[in-house]
């Protein structure tokens, strides 16, 4: 992954529409017992994910409970990561918000921190909005940010946001803003949409949101994946990307799929946090903000047992 | 409407769970040509609505494009209203947010400004959340605000928020927080849910979100209504509330229903703003923030003609 290009500014900036590649982790956000973000643990977790092989960190995504954080918390945590040694170029923070002024403020903050790109949700309060309205939101954010160095990744997750980022919207944005529209994370959950986007937008860096579609994605030109369960198995996913076709690769792919299937039996974010608490020996890792709730003790034991059995089998 | 009680604090505060009654207007938020809130026009519009007979102003609701405003804009606009003569006790600002810290900050700001109550959305990013998670959000907001004088109205609008405020959640909140849970705005769009809430929660101030259910509501113990189209016909709705049963009342009810039906043929918020622009002779009233879009010229002319014909017929 190279991100230096995206930070150079002005007309002479070299265009590198695929600066992010590989496995990006939508890093979990740890909280302390009083409910505030646990800044120190967040830094060490991000450093650990990079050590384990993460190509980038899509901090402040859905899995990060970004929308359960205040704007101030998001901006301050991002600065804290960079100030404490997390390379800014590896970061693709979520900077979407329902309001244009807040999306602009978050995006400017990410650029100022040196982030390699930003992952931007559509405004997600109003439903049944027009494609023209979604285009207008992104257009206004991009123009108010006013930086040709901006590399914006569209965040398509209609089952959560209620607002789809359709091919006509993407086409119109690419026509209007060229390399500023760098890519898209497809969390729609099906291969069909990803496959269509890869075919229609070969110049965008398309990231399916699950390692389940990683191999098919890579074969069809995907840039990698941005997967919630990479919080648990980033090393395996990175290995999978780097292993040439053959027996070892198929085995890794099956293992990754089995692990994902285990997590998918539970509410995903509380499950990932429960496992992080177990792995790092820190109970506060389990804390989620409302409306999410922690796993029950029984769920937690069952999940950890299932992952242990899988690991012994693997 | 009496709101003095809701502002007295401490253990000796008199409990007045039905402090808001009548027609409350989810006031439109005007913007200037550069897209920022038009503070002066907002003040004069709110004053006009009260002059026309509004019993209260549910500013920063869905119709107000509240979630398209930043937290800073919402707090500053509320202070501006109060500083410019809008009686704070008439105000029921929307203070919900996806994040607890922001809902707390907005709610504290509303209390500091002297608002008679607050209307609080559930956190609306995550979907399929548990009733326990929705309860936990409201509980945490209430406890972090920590004011027995708080009068909180739950905002049930599942078709927009994706998160329902169900009777079990309401029961649990009422048990835990007593008079702090003052009422509920039911924007579910059907009479069945409103009727059930009126029956199960006779001590709450229940507001259906449409004048269509006003008469049935009043007959069954509703506190009034909080209706988007009250931005256009608050005088008629107030008159309807105050007219005793008889011929005049049925006629007013039919007129109000016909006007509502005309608006419902269009995207509601842009339609209300187009008509405000026409009524007040100020084109900038038409401006909406993305993802909403203005009506087309043809839609605008057709809507204004239809309302004119209705008014001549009435």
Strands (E), B159-294: 181-186, 205-208, 224-226
Q: Which of A70, A140, A293 sits opposite B290 (nearest CB)?
A: A140
Higher pLDDT, B87 or B189: B87
Q: What's the whole-number average pLDDT of chain B?
A: 93
pLDDT tens digits along B33-43: 999 999 999 99
Listed in sequence order, the residues at least 6 apart from B148 whose beta carbon sits closer than 8 Å to its beta carbon are B9, B10, B11, B13, B180
Q: Does the pLDDT of residue A52 top 50, yes or no?
A: yes
Q: Which of A68, A100, A129 sits opposite B98 (nearest CB)?
A: A68
pLDDT at A205: 97
- The Cβ of residue A246 has, within 10 Å, a number of other Cβ atoms equal to 8
Question: pLDDT band at residue A106, thresholds of 50, 70 and 90?
Answer: very high
Q: What's the whole-number average pLDDT of chain A?
A: 93
Query: Which residues are bridge partners to B181 per DSSP?
Result: B152
pLDDT tens digits along A124-144: 999 999 999 999 999 999 999
**Is B125 labeled as catalytic in the residue annotation?**
yes
User: How far is B64 from B57, CA to CA, in rounded Å?
Assistant: 11
Q: Say yes or no for a CB contact (<8 Å) between B293 and A68.
A: no
DSSP string, A259-280: HHHHHTTS-HHHHHHHHHHHHH
Q: Answer positive or negative: Cα dihedral of A37, A39, A45, A47.
A: positive
Question: pLDDT band at residue B314, thresholds of 50, 70 and 90?
Answer: low
Sheet architecture: strand order including B181-186: B118-120, B152-156, B181-186, B205-208
Complex-level ipTM: 0.94
Higher pLDDT, A13 or A43: A43
The share of chain B scoring above pLDDT 70, in percent, equals 94
Please tell me the total number of residues recorded for chain B in this structure: 314
Q: Does the pLDDT of residue A8 top 70, yes or no?
A: no
User: How far is B264 from A307, CA to CA, in rounded Å?
Assistant: 53
pLDDT at A7: 36
Among the listed residues B4, B125, B126, B296, the single catalytic one is B125
pLDDT at A247: 75
**Is B185 labeled as catalytic in the residue annotation?**
yes
User: How far is A93 from B227, CA to CA, in rounded Å?
Assistant: 38
What string of H, E and C letters represents the secondary structure of A188-231?
A: CCCHHHHHHHHHHCCCCEEEECCHHHHHHHHHCCCCEEECCCHH
Question: Taking CB atoms and an 8 Å cutoff, what residues of chain A touch B102?
Answer: 70-71
Listed in sequence order, the residues at least 6 apart from A44 whose beta carbon sits closer than 8 Å to its beta carbon are none
Q: Say yes or no for a CB contact (<8 Å) between A100 and B289.
A: yes
Q: Does the pLDDT of residue A15 top 50, yes or no?
A: no
Question: Taking CB atoms and an 8 Å cutoff, what residues of chain B touch A136?
Answer: 290-291, 293
pTM for the structure as a whole: 0.94
Q: How far is CA B209 from the centre of its chain?
A: 8
Q: Which of B69, B122, B137 sits opposite A99 (nearest CB)?
A: B69
Sheet architecture: strand order including B224-226: B56-57, B22-25, B224-226
Among the listed residues B137, B138, B153, B155, the single catalytic one is B155
pLDDT tens digits along B146-183: 999 999 999 999 999 999 999 999 999 999 999 999 99
Per-residue tokens: B192? 């069945």
Q: Provide mean pLDDT across the span A154-172.
A: 97
The share of chain A scoring above pLDDT 70, in percent, equals 94
Chain B CA closest to residue A164: B291
pLDDT at B254: 95
CB-count exposure of residue B202 (10 Å: 0-12, 13-18, 19+)? exposed
Listed in sequence order, the residues at least 6 apart from B36 whose beta carbon sits closer than 8 Å to its beta carbon are B73
pLDDT at A27: 98
Q: Say yes or no for a CB contact (<8 Å) between A291 and B162.
A: no
Per-residue tokens: A44? 């060490």
pLDDT tens digits along A218-251: 999 999 999 999 999 999 999 999 998 887 999 9
**Is B126 labeled as catalytic in the residue annotation?**
no
Question: Taking CB atoms and an 8 Å cutoff, what residues of chain A touch B123?
Answer: 67-68, 290-291
pLDDT at B196: 97
pLDDT at A314: 61
pLDDT tens digits along B58-73: 999 999 999 999 999 9
Chain A CA closest to residue B122: A291
Q: Does the pLDDT of residue B86 top 70, yes or no?
A: yes
pLDDT at B14: 40
Mutate to test the interface with A, among B69, B98, B269 (most CBs of A within 10 A): B98
In angstroms, the separation between the Cα of residue A38 and the nearest Cα of chain B is 15
Per-residue tokens: A170? 């993407």
Among the listed residues A41, A90, A185, A194, the single catalytic one is A185
pLDDT tens digits along B185-229: 999 988 999 999 999 999 999 999 998 999 999 999 999 999 999
């Amino acid at each position: 992954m190279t991100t230096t290009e995206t930070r150079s500014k002005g007309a002479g900036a070299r265009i590198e529409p695929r600066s992010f590649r590989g496995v990006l982790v939508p890093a979990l956000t740890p909280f302390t017992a009083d409910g505030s973000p646990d800044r120190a643990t967040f830094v060490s977790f991000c450093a650990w994910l990079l050590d384990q092989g993460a190509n980038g960190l899509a901090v402040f995504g859905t899995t990060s409970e970004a929308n359960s954080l205040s704007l101030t918390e998001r901006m301050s945590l991002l600065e804290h990561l960079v100030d404490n040694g997390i390379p800014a170029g590896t970061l693709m923070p979520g900077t979407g918000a329902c309001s244009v002024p807040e999306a602009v403020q978050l995006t400017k903050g990410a650029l100022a921190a040196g982030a390699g790109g930003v992952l931007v949700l559509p405004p997600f309060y109003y439903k049944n909005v027009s494609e023209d309205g979604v285009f207008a939101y992104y257009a206004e954010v991009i123009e108010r940010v006013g930086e040709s160095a901006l590399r914006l990744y569209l965040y398509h997750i209609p089952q959560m946001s209620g607002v789809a980022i359709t091919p006509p919207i993407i086409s119109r944005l690419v026509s209007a803003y060229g390399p500023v529209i760098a890519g898209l994370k497809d969390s729609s959950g099906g291969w069909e949409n990803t496959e269509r986007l890869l075919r229609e937008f070969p110049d965008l860096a398309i990231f399916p949101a699950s390692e389940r579609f990683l191999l098919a994605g890579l074969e069809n030109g995907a840039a990698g994946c941005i997967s919630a369960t990479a919080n648990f198995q980033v090393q395996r996913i990175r290995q999978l990307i780097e292993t040439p076709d053959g027996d070892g690769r198929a085995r890794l792919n099956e293992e990754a799929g089995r692990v994902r299937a285990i997590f998918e039996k539970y509410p995903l974010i509380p499950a990932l946090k429960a496992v992080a608490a177990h792995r790092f020996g820190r109970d506060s890792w389990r804390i989620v903000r409302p409306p999410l709730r922690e796993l029950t003790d029984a769920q937690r034991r069952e999940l950890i047992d299932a992952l242990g059995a899988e690991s012994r089998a693997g």
